[in-house]
Amino acid sequence: MATIEAGLDLGRYKLGWIDEVDYVIKPKKGLSEDVVREISFLKGEPQWMTEFRLRGYRHFMRKPYEGAWFHANMPGLDFQDIYYYLKPTESQVSEWDELPEQMRRTYEKLGIPEAEQRYFAGVTSQYDSEVVYHKNREDLEARGILFTDMDTAVREHPEIVKKYFGTIIPPADNKFAALNTSVWSGGSFIYVPPGVDVEMPLQAYFRINSENAGQFERTLIIADEGARVHYIEGCSAPVYSSGSLHSAVVELVALPGSRITYTTIQNWSDNVYNLVTKRARADAEAHVEWIDGNIGSRLTMKYPSVVLAGPKASGEVLSVAYAGPGQHQDAGAKMIHAAPETTSTIVSKSISKDGGRTTYRGLVKIEEGAARSKAFVRCDALLLDELSRSDTYPRQEIAEKDASIGHEATVSKVSQDQLFYLMSRGLSEEQAMGMIVNGFIEPITRTLPMEYAVEWSRLIELQMEGAVG
């Protein structure tokens, strides 16, 4: 396990540098029907996608903002003071040395090229509004696996995109899903043919660089019958005095007997509002797993969900949220049991420090006809001081008498006995605190690939700087 090295300034956000980029296209700030049409025109999209965007825009304009609970948490967000589309390069490349120098140095600092060579079957990297780099292993293409950016998928695989796009999360789902539908750009598209197992994970990395920028990637993953795939995404942004908005939409389609694992480690700077809609549909005997790590953003609203649509389908959400000073991590999960003998598990871990606030907001719904369904929820919160706060808002709607439901919740502080024991073994108080916190989140960390587990532990330890003493 990584340890905190004495003498280093670990309290600062380490991914907050700013690149000087000469954007190829940088339209004026603000949102309007003309801006939506311009984005679609610049991308050369078919008419059906332009109409889809406009439908999202109309829903966004109709849905209230002021008075909604999220408005109280981000009253300073001005939708007319945001760049909705920023194109940083002329074209996408498939070799790192073909990227502009500043951009290439950023990805090298983040370790993405090295990780691609060692761990992944394919990598896509998005910079502001556009995917600037994408590479898929040739052997995957030979097996019929489609892995590309969403814009390319609209052009090259329209029959699949039209069949599934917006079916799991429709434009009218919520205000920020409607916003994404109207101005989406980039994101990942994956289709895995029947019975195919993608042995190595596929990865995407999302970077916001410009001030007052919005990033609105759209991701669609379809695992056909009996297929298996693991997708990992990471995120970062520079530190600015004004806010940036990240509002993504992720749709997963797990056809009968398939398995999708979706891992997110979002390490935003504290000027980013992170409002994401993520939902999956699991057909008969399919399994969907969300592994979700949230750290750094000023406000996070994210509730990965699974609609268990077929008999014996199963879903799992494992999440960790860390809130420091001035931060509110409002995360959770939703499980909708819509078929018999379906199973769901939600495990949520949260850590609050220096007045940070974490919230678990969840739903377990057993619909009529979903006989013999089983659901389990566990929410554990760790408070590191007297200033911090944790809230839990679980909700259950049960329409079947034979459902099996379990719910556990704990709120705790670091034990002085634990600290004393570890310090008596030669650890400093800060190292001991870091070890306790990493032990607290270990049930989530152990589900990650090794290199990501080490990185996540390290990120938590960086945030722990100054937690004691």
Residue 148: CB atoms within 10 Å: 20
Contacts of 155-158 with C-beta under 8 Å, sequence gap 24+, read 155/44, 157/189, 157/191, 158/46
What's residue 12's pLDDT? 40
Residue 332, pLDDT > 70, answer yes
Q: Is 180 left (phi over 0), alpha (psi -120 to 50) or beta?
A: alpha
What tokens were used for 392? Answer: 């839990």
Q: If you average pLDDT over residues 353-369, what whole number do you get?
A: 95
What's residue 468's pLDDT? 42
User: Residues of the chain with pLDDT > 90: what percent?
Assistant: 50
Alpha-carbon distance 283 to 217, whole Å? 25
Q: What is the pLDDT of residues 69-87, one digit of tens each?
A: 777 777 778 889 888 888 7
Q: If you average pLDDT over residues 104-129, what whole number do you get?
A: 66
Q: If you average pLDDT over residues 432-445, what whole number do you get?
A: 80
What's residue 265's pLDDT? 82
Give the burial class of 321: count Cβ atoms within 10 A of its Cβ; 0-12 exposed, 13-18 middle, 19 or more buried. Answer: buried
Q: If you average pLDDT over residues 348-377, what whole number do you get?
A: 95
Residue 433, pLDDT > 90, answer no
User: Residues of the chain with pLDDT > 70: what percent?
Assistant: 81
What's residue 118's pLDDT? 56
What's residue 1's pLDDT? 30
What's residue 56's pLDDT? 97
What's residue 236's pLDDT? 61
What tokens were used for 128? Answer: 């502001």
Residue 266 to residues 240, 322, 415, Cα–Cα distance (Å) = 17, 11, 29
Residue 414, pLDDT > 70, answer yes
Q: What is the pLDDT of residues 20-43, one digit of tens each?
A: 555 555 667 899 999 999 999 999
* Average pLDDT for the chain: 84
Residue 7, pLDDT > 60, answer no
What's residue 5's pLDDT? 29
Rg (CA), the chain: 22
Q: Is 452 left (phi over 0), alpha (psi -120 to 50) or beta?
A: alpha
**CA-wise closest residue to 231 among 264, 279, 196:** 264
What's residue 18's pLDDT? 47
What's residue 239's pLDDT? 53
* pTM across the whole model: 0.87
What's residue 467's pLDDT? 44
More confident residue, 222 or 455: 222
Residue 217, pLDDT > 80, answer yes
More confident residue, 72 or 313: 313
Backbone angles phi, psi at 451, to 5 degrees: -65, -30
Band the pLDDT of 204: cuts 50, 70, 90: confident
What's residue 469's pLDDT? 35
- H helices within 23-91, ranges in order? 33-42, 47-62, 69-73
